[in-house]
Amino acid sequence: MDKFRDECGVFGIFNHDEAARLTYLGLYALQHRGQESAGMVTSDGNKLNGFRGMGYVSDIFKEPQLSGLPGRSAIGHVRYSTAGGVSLREAQPFLVDGYRGQIALCHNGNLPYASQVREELELSGAIFSSTSDTEVVLHKIARSREPDLVGAIVDTFTEIEGAYSMLFLTRDRLIAVRDPRGFRPLALGKLGDAYVLASETCAFDLIDAVYLRDVQPGEVLVIDEEGLHASYPLPKERHSHCIFEHVYFSRPDSIVFGRSVNKSRHKMGQQLASECPADADIVVPVPDSGTAAAIGYASQSGLKFRFGLVRNHYVGRTFIEPQQSIRHFGVKVKLNAVRDLIEGRRVVLIDDSIVRGTTSKKIVQMVRQAGAKEIHVRISCPPTKASCFYGVDTPTRDELIAANKSVDEIADFIGADSLGYLSLDGMLKACGDAPGSRHCTACYTMNYPLKVTRSARTKMEREEGVLAVESMWPRH
Ligand code: SF4
């Protein structure tokens, strides 16, 4: 499907006899955040052991792998690459030995300056085992003069800016760090005497853990035998939570940034109905992510809600992409229209975003072929006009249809009778926010909360013309 792609998911647990198995379940619940690779490191109090693999969590971890990961604390990761290559070398957690002992690390987010720091490190003799931006953090920690790991982490992140919700595991501690802007989510929960951490609270629900609070932006949270030790040593910044987590990435059953994702999506749909009404008979979601907004749209507009598109949930990674000659097959294998519900009706089709427009075009065509009289497409967020540099895989502006066409031109392109987007203020209001106060909305507004340098050698360079380029590296 033509979507922004999820970044990664992290899970951690401290002080539980079943640490590896619970981490397996936690990663299973976070699978939607990354399907390329998964990994886990556990600590038995003396030694760290890890296992990583390519593919889905359930394919990688079987009984022998879990039995080989003893201990009462663990961290785990599911990955979709936003920086670096796609191979086992990039799979996380990373596990290294240093003069402070063994350290394991996993990361959700992106460090836009990593390639520049990496170049500097390589020039001074450092060698790397992967292309991942995360490995740079381990090098900076190893070089810090701070005697303790927490001091070295603070040292590193005082210098390197970016988007990061990170978990570190040592022999006897689990450490969570969240960047001062709080781009990506990270929640803290409790399961009996154990503490758990996860990108989304849906991971807590699966293991019957209770959500306590979010790890705060700029917080360093140490969990050890004595309990929780929270500190806020990183420079304060205006919060910039990724609003796309509420629009699309996170599961609707999660609480993200302290707010129910389902509630936000439902309100987006209601707001969309007020802003972009349509003279129609039924409201149909593009499943699954458009469903909550469609229910909200139907409740506000008084139109009937119908599951007019059915999704095949069993299309996995191994699906062989069709050749050009039968390319419509690609969408049909994932979605199918229910003719009985659609035929002869005026349909409001609700989706959460249009990225390139190619998939929307095929879906509109499919609904038309099922006999719809009119198709009015409504999108539960504003036009997506810019790329993300904070841990989300996005196309370049050249490929983003809303960066290059007007709303009417997009409607023409996808073949809809009308097209309407939720306004920026409407989206922020639906997420419980006032305009611009605590969310990042850069992929709609190009208002990037963390500026980039000309020398930060990431895909930002390709967007140089549209970014406010500032010299913010090095920070000191
Ligand atoms: Fe999220 Fe968009 Fe900001 Fe990226 S640019 S962090 S996707 S809101």
**pLDDT of the chain, 476 residues: tens digit per residue:** 567 766 799 999 999 999 999 999 999 999 999 999 999 999 999 999 999 999 999 999 999 999 999 999 999 999 986 555 678 888 999 999 998 999 999 999 988 888 888 888 999 999 988 888 889 999 999 999 999 999 999 999 998 899 999 999 999 999 999 999 999 999 999 999 999 999 999 999 999 999 999 999 999 999 999 999 999 999 999 999 999 999 999 999 999 999 999 999 999 999 999 999 999 999 999 998 899 999 999 999 999 999 999 988 776 544 555 555 555 566 778 899 999 999 999 999 999 999 999 999 999 999 999 999 999 999 999 999 988 888 887 788 889 999 999 999 999 999 999 999 999 999 999 999 866 569 999 999 998 998 765 444 344 444 444 343 332 322 32
Sheet with 210-214, edge to edge strand ranges: 48-54, 37-43, 73-79, 8-14, 194-198, 187-191, 210-214
Q: What's the pTM value of the predicted model, to 2 decimals?
A: 0.91
Q: Compute the radius of gyration of the chain from its Cα atoms.
A: 23
Mutational test site, ligand 1, from 82, 183, 244, 460, max ligand atoms within 8 Å of CB = 244
Contact 143, 160 (CB under 8 A): no
Q: How far is the CA of 249 from the centre of ligand 1 (A)?
A: 11
> Which residue of 257, 387, 441 sits with most ligand 1 atoms within 8 Å of its CB, as the best mutation to test the pocket?
441
Q: Is 388 one of the annotated active-site residues of the chain? A: no
Query: What DSSP designation does 236 have?
Result: P
Distance from Cα 152 to the centre of ligand 1, integer Å: 28
Which of the listed residues 184, 243, 458 should we mutate to test ligand 1's pocket, taking the one with most ligand atoms within 8 A of CB? 243
Residue nearest to atom 2 of ligand 1 (CA): 443
The alpha carbon of 465 and the centre of ligand 1 are apart by a number of angstroms equal to: 18
Q: Where does ligand 1 bind, in terms of residues with CB under 6 Å?
A: 183, 242-244, 388, 390, 392, 440-443
Helix 407-414, helix 358-369: angle, nearest 10:
50
Catalytic residue among 8, 242, 276, 431: 8
The residue nearest atom 6 of ligand 1, judged by CA position, is: 242
Contacts of 172 (CB under 8 A, 6+ apart): 43, 45, 224, 225
First to last CA, the chain: 43
CA distance 258 to 176: 17
For residue 386, the ligand 1 atom closest to its alpha carbon is 5
Q: Is the dihedral of CA 356, 295, 241, 164 positive or negative?
A: negative
The residue to which tokens 């004595």 are assigned? 226
Q: What is the CA(428)–ligand 1 centre distance, in A?
A: 13
Say how many Å lie between the CA of residue 213 and the centre of ligand 1: 22
In whole angstroms, how far apart are CA 314 and each of 3, 8, 78, 291, 308? 18, 21, 19, 19, 19
